[in-house]
Structure 1
Amino acid sequence: MRKQIFALIMLMGLGTSVAWAQKGDWAVHSYISTNLMFGDTDFDHPTKGLSPGVGFALQYGLTDDLRLYTDASLASINGGGNEYYFEHQNLTGILGLQYDLLGAFTNEPSKFAVFIDGAIGWSYFQSIAYNTNTNEVIAKVPADGAYSASPMGSLGGSISYAIANQVDVVLGYKTFMMIDNDWGDAQSGGAAESDYFGQISIGVRYSINGHEPMAKVPQGDYDDLVAAKKAAEQEAEEARQELETARRKYDTQIEDLYNILSVMNNNIDSLEQKITVLRSKPESNNEYVVESRGGQPVTPDATNTKWRIVIGSFPNAQMANEFAAQRVVEGGEYEVVFIADLNTYRVVYNSYGTLNAAKTDLERVKSVITNAWIIRF
Structure 2
Amino acid sequence: MKKTLALVAIVAAMNSYAQGTWAPYASVEENIHIGDVRPSYNYANLSTPAGNAGMRMGAFYTHNSQLSAEITLGVVGVGTPGTFSNTIIPVEAVGHYNLLDGMDVKIPSKFNLDLGVGSGLAESSNGNFGFSEHLVLGASMELPGLVPFGTVIMGTRYTAFIDDYIDGTVVSGSSNDGVLRFYTAVRLDGESKKTKQALADAAALAAKVGASLEKSEAEKATVEKELKAAKATHAREKAALMDELEALKAAPVEEEAPSEEPTMEAKGYYVIIGSFPSQEGAERFISELGSELGVSYVKDLNTYRVVYSMHENLAEARTALEAAKAVVETAWIAVY
TM-score by length of 2: 0.54
Q: 1: CA distance between counterparts of 2:28 and 2:234?
A: 83
**1:257 Cα shift?**
3.5
Partner of 1:58: 59
* Matched letter for residue 29 of structure 2: S
User: Does the 8 Å CA contact 2:33/2:39 hold for their aligned counterparts?
Assistant: no
Q: 2: CA distance between counterparts of 1:44 and 1:108?
A: 36
Paired residue secondary structure (2:183): strand
Partner of 2:142: 160
Q: Does 1:96 align with 2:94?
A: yes
Q: Structure 2 stretches of 5 or more lacking a match?
A: 1-18, 198-217, 248-268, 276-296, 308-327
* Matched letter for residue 266 of structure 1: M
% identical equivalent positions: 13
- State the Cα deviation string for residues 203-243 of structure 1 (Å, max 9, x = none): 32211366647xxxxxxxxxxxxxxxxxxxxxxxxxxxx99
Decide whether aligned partners of structure 1 residues 376 and 149 sit closer, same or farther in structure 2, where only a CA change above 3 A counts. farther
* Matched letter for residue 98 of structure 1: H
**1:89 Cα shift?**
0.7
Matches within 5 A, 1:215-294: 257-271=233-247, 287-289=299-301
Q: 1: CA distance between counterparts of 2:32 and 2:239?
A: 103
Decide whether aligned partners of structure 1 residues 156 and 261 sit closer, same or farther in structure 2, where only a CA change above 3 A counts. same
User: Could you say which structure has the higher helix fraction?
Assistant: 2
User: Does the 8 Å CA contact 2:61/2:70 hold for their aligned counterparts?
Assistant: yes
Decide whether aligned partners of structure 1 residues 250 and 193 sit closer, same or farther in structure 2, where only a CA change above 3 A counts. same
* Matched letter for residue 155 of structure 2: G
Partner of 1:171: 154
User: Does the 8 Å CA contact 1:27/1:209 hold for their aligned counterparts?
Assistant: no
Q: 2: CA distance between counterparts of 1:194 and 1:111?
A: 34
Paired residue secondary structure (2:83): strand
Decide whether aligned partners of structure 1 residues 192 and 286 sit closer, same or farther in structure 2, where only a CA change above 3 A counts. same
Decide whether aligned partners of structure 1 residues 265 and 172 sit closer, same or farther in structure 2, where only a CA change above 3 A counts. same
Q: 1: CA distance between counterparts of 2:22 and 2:190?
A: 6
Q: 2: CA distance between counterparts of 1:167 and 1:91?
A: 26
Decide whether aligned partners of structure 1 residues 164 and 86 sit closer, same or farther in structure 2, where only a CA change above 3 A counts. closer
TM-score by length of 1: 0.48
Matches within 5 A, 1:1-377: 24-39=20-35, 40-43=37-40, 48-50=47-49, 51-79=52-80, 85-102=83-100, 104-107=101-104, 109-110=106-107, 112-126=109-123, 140-143=125-128, 147-162=129-144, 163-164=146-147, 166-179=149-162, 181-189=163-171, 191-208=173-190, 212=196, 257-271=233-247, 287-289=299-301
Q: 2: CA distance between counterparts of 1:97 and 1:376?
A: 89
Q: 2: CA distance between counterparts of 1:161 and 1:304?
A: 87
User: Does the 8 Å CA contact 2:140/2:154 hold for their aligned counterparts?
Assistant: yes
Decide whether aligned partners of structure 1 residues 376 and 193 sit closer, same or farther in structure 2, where only a CA change above 3 A counts. farther
Decide whether aligned partners of structure 1 residues 44 and 120 sit closer, same or farther in structure 2, where only a CA change above 3 A counts. closer
**1:197 Cα shift?**
0.7
Partner of 1:296: none
Decide whether aligned partners of structure 1 residues 93 and 304 sit closer, same or farther in structure 2, where only a CA change above 3 A counts. farther
- State the Cα deviation string for residues 165-206 of structure 1 (Å, max 9, x = none): 652222221111112x11111111154442111121123221
Paired residue secondary structure (1:69): strand
**1:70 Cα shift?**
0.5
Decide whether aligned partners of structure 1 residues 289 and 258 sit closer, same or farther in structure 2, where only a CA change above 3 A counts. closer
Residues 168-177 or 111-120, more deviating:
111-120
Q: 2: CA distance between counterparts of 1:263 and 1:196?
A: 105
User: Does the 8 Å CA contact 2:32/2:39 hold for their aligned counterparts?
Assistant: no
User: Does the 8 Å CA contact 1:94/1:122 hold for their aligned counterparts?
Assistant: yes
Paired residue secondary structure (1:264): helix
- State the Cα deviation string for residues 7-44 of structure 1 (Å, max 9, x = none): xxxxxxxxxxxxxxxx9422222121111211423328
Paired residue secondary structure (1:175): strand
User: Does the 8 Å CA contact 2:23/2:187 hold for their aligned counterparts?
Assistant: yes
Q: 2: CA distance between counterparts of 1:159 and 1:89?
A: 27
Which one has a bigger Cα radius of gyration?
2
Q: 2: CA distance between counterparts of 1:304 and 1:109?
A: 82
Partner of 1:365: none
Root-mean-square deviation (CA), in Å?
A: 4.3
Paired residue secondary structure (1:270): helix
- State the Cα deviation string for residues 300-333 of structure 1 (Å, max 9, x = none): 69x889xxxxxxxxxxxxxxxxxxxxxxxxxxxx
Paired residue secondary structure (2:64): coil
User: Does the 8 Å CA contact 1:48/1:78 hold for their aligned counterparts?
Assistant: no
Q: Structure 1 stretches of 5 or more lacking a match?
A: 1-22, 128-139, 214-241, 277-284, 291-299, 306-353, 356-374
User: Does the 8 Å CA contact 1:26/1:208 hold for their aligned counterparts?
Assistant: no
Q: 1: CA distance between counterparts of 2:165 and 2:26?
A: 28
User: Does the 8 Å CA contact 1:158/1:173 hold for their aligned counterparts?
Assistant: yes
